[in-house]
Chain A
Amino acid sequence: MALTINATAIKLPDADGLVEDYVNYETTLVAINGGKQRTRAGQKKRAQLKWTRLSIADYQALLALLNTGAAVAYANDFTNKPGGTFNFTGLPTFNASTPYSVGTSKLVDANCVIEEI
């Protein structure tokens, strides 16, 4: 069981901090009588990760992997998706979501969204 970015295992997100889903690029038109028609251009994978109180080492490791601006290889082999894997190359958007106080604690919450290219 592993969650990797560029083949490097990362700290697992919070218990309720991982959402893996699909983004559908589609439009649904509604006719005058309410009839519908849907046209879809494509479907892309997306992973949303959330961590609470990351240690300095974990935070820095995630920062190094997810904050370069470059696309990364996301892989999860314990997903609930068909086939048991959820792998894709995506663009990460990484944020530290809470401030820290120097001299007291440098633990921060963080989150990241990775969207398939």
Chain B
Amino acid sequence: MQTVSSAFTTATAAAYKRIGASVLIAWQKTTNASVQFFTIGQSKIGGADVLKGAGGSVTFSDKYQYTNETANVESYTISRKMSNLPWGVIMGTANITLLNANNRFTPKYDATIGNYILPDRPIRLGVGINDEYINLFTGYSEMPKSSISSRKTTIVAWDALKFLSNKKSSLQAFVNTSADQIIIALLQEQGFGVGQYNIEPSTQNKIGYLPVQDLIVTDIFKQICEAEGALMFCDENGVINFWNRIHLNNNSTSKWTFNYSNMTNVDWDNTPIVNDAIVVAKPFKIAAFNKVWENGQSYAVQPNSSLDVFADFRDDIGSFPLISIVTPVNITTAVTSSWQANQNQDGTGAEVNSGIALTSTYLFGERYRMTFANTTNAVIYLTKIQLYGTPAKVQVVDSKEQTDATSIANYGINPDNNGQIVTIDNNLVQDAATANALAYIYVKLFSTPLQRLKATVFGVPQLQLGDFVTVNEETTGQTLAMVVVGNDIEVTQNGKLAQTLSLEQRSTYQYFTIGVSRIGGSDYLAP
């Protein structure tokens, strides 16, 4: 839950409250160090001050000089949702509708911002209750779309994790580095500084080898989150959070209570049943320098032409990346990596040692490209290519299965997965203990169908994903401890502050703590 004043909390629950919307857009993407943060009672609404992100430090998005477009806003909606899995990368999105009768948002029209009606504009959305404002969304716009007939402009915006889904890393491969340090390095590479992220420690061994060059940053985060059983999301203030797999279990204090007097509707559902899961740990470890590839066919390089030959590095387990490779040379001078050319495809003719050359190479990680140029007037065949290098190979494969016999007896195996065993296969799962823990958590959380609610509530905008709330379900008399797994908010010019929460019941369990838990007691060994 976002930190708010007691007055804000009181007003949130009150029968009557004034609300305000705040929409700030940095059209020109200029920064202004002199811009102050909004201070209630001092800053002027419509002035240059911006709502400051939470915490003491300036967040990535605080740097921009925003234009206050609040007076032109008809409505906005904000949505954040976790997937069905208890881990992953969550991207928040916002839809903003602006009034454009004066053509302010029509491209090339307004003298100040007309040339900047473009995508990738930093946006901040906030809501005020009785004139105290909090941020609800910080992100970046897609291209604004205007309609002459409706006289409106709509903007779709995404948070910083979407921003990172367009960015590739150019960092060198990580060797024996913990997942949290890898995430921090990737964020810093993209311009995020300390205070702009909150990364919890990894809960498994250091990752032996992870090549990231040319990979999409968000894709790397997704793989890490699956391997760690972790959640990653950008909060309302633009701060990127990485919650490890024990975060929710250790932060289950109820933040708000809902009942039939502050919910306007409840839709019922159940969590999917997962009672049989396998997690495969097959981490990459750096192996000894060795021969890593040999051609299985000959390649014809046509006269006065070039040919790209691709080497895909695979073994019995699957693809593996190379940390380094020796560039092949003609076999006549080669010590390790080499290539051999011949007049005939089957290698029975004379060797060709001139008129053909390896002109360029590129190592993609699990793939290596070699470009050969034939400067003669005859076809030349590459009959033998051998590559030597240092690979990172999967050296141990641990497969851990967890089942819940009672659940299987009651519902069958994984009825919500067509009876198939759920398998998670991830190279970043580093050890058997982690594989076992992930399978355990998955089955522990989902072996019994738990309550899932979609509750439309009197707005509590300070609630965040991952917050626990108490739901007094008065029809059944149940009191449910539920976690917020989805949060949809709508603010309109008609004073509407609508909020729909996706809530999921969580079976919390105590991790075994040395010196506190009792052998033979009800606590579980920390997975």
Contacts and interface: CB of A to CB of B under 8 A. Distances in A.
Contacts of B264: 29-32
A82 interface: no
Interface in A37-89: 37-42
Interface stretch (B148-156, B184-192, B367-375, B489-497): B489-497
Contacts of A33: 260-261, 474
A27 interface: yes
Nearest to A38: B16
- Which of A25, A32, A35, A38 has the most chain B CB atoms inside 10 A of its CB? A32
B476 to A, nearest CB: 13
Contacts of B459: 39
From DSSP, what is the main secondary structure of chain A's interface residues?
A: strand
A104 B262 CA distance: 64
Interface in B3-53: 14-21
Interface residues of B, number: 25
A39 B497 contact: yes
A32 to B, nearest CB: 4
Contacts of B319: none
Contacts of B20: 41
A37 B16 contact: yes
Given A37-B262, A38-B16, A41-B21, A26 B495 contact: yes
A15 to B, nearest CB: 34
A82 B296 CA distance: 94
B18 A40 contact: yes
A26 B16 CA distance: 10
B176 to A, nearest CB: 54
B308 to A, nearest CB: 62
B263 interface: yes
A26 B20 CA distance: 11
B133 to A, nearest CB: 14
B266 interface: yes
Given A31-B264, A32-B266, A38 B15 contact: yes
B293 interface: no
Contacts of B265: 32
Contacts of B495: 24-27, 38-42
B261 A35 contact: yes
Interface in B255-271: 260-266
Nearest to B16: A38
Nearest to A32: B260
Given A39-B459, A40-B18, A41-B20, A27 B496 contact: yes
Contacts of A38: 15-17, 495
Contacts of B261: 31-33, 35
A29 B496 CA distance: 9
B411 interface: no
A40 B21 contact: no
Contacts of A31: 260-264, 458
A117 to B, nearest CB: 10
A32 B458 CA distance: 11
Contacts of B492: 27, 41
Contacts of B458: 29, 31, 37
Nearest to A31: B261
B263 A41 contact: no
A60 to B, nearest CB: 28
B488 to A, nearest CB: 15
Given A40-B17, A40-B19, A26 B263 contact: no
A41 B492 CA distance: 8
B498 to A, nearest CB: 8
Given A27-B494, A41-B495, A35 B262 contact: yes
A41 B15 contact: no
Nearest to A41: B495
Contacts of A36: 15
A107 to B, nearest CB: 34
A61 to B, nearest CB: 28
Interface in B435-462: 458-459
Nearest to B21: A41
B141 to A, nearest CB: 23
A38 B494 CA distance: 11
A41 B266 contact: no
Interface string B479-502: 000000000000011111110000
Contacts of A29: 264, 458, 498
A20 to B, nearest CB: 22
Contacts of B15: 36-38
Contacts of A25: 493-495
B510 to A, nearest CB: 34
A93 B497 CA distance: 30
Contacts of B497: 27, 39
Nearest to A40: B495
B91 to A, nearest CB: 28
6 contacts: A27-B496, A27-B498, A29-B498, A32-B260, A32-B261, A41-B19
The 8 residue pairs across chains A and B that have the minimum distance between CB atoms: A41-B495, A26-B495, A32-B260, A35-B261, A27-B496, A33-B260, A37-B458, A40-B495
Given A26-B494, A27-B496, A31-B458, 8 more contacts: A24-B495, A25-B495, A27-B492, A31-B263, A37-B17, A37-B262, A41-B20, A41-B493
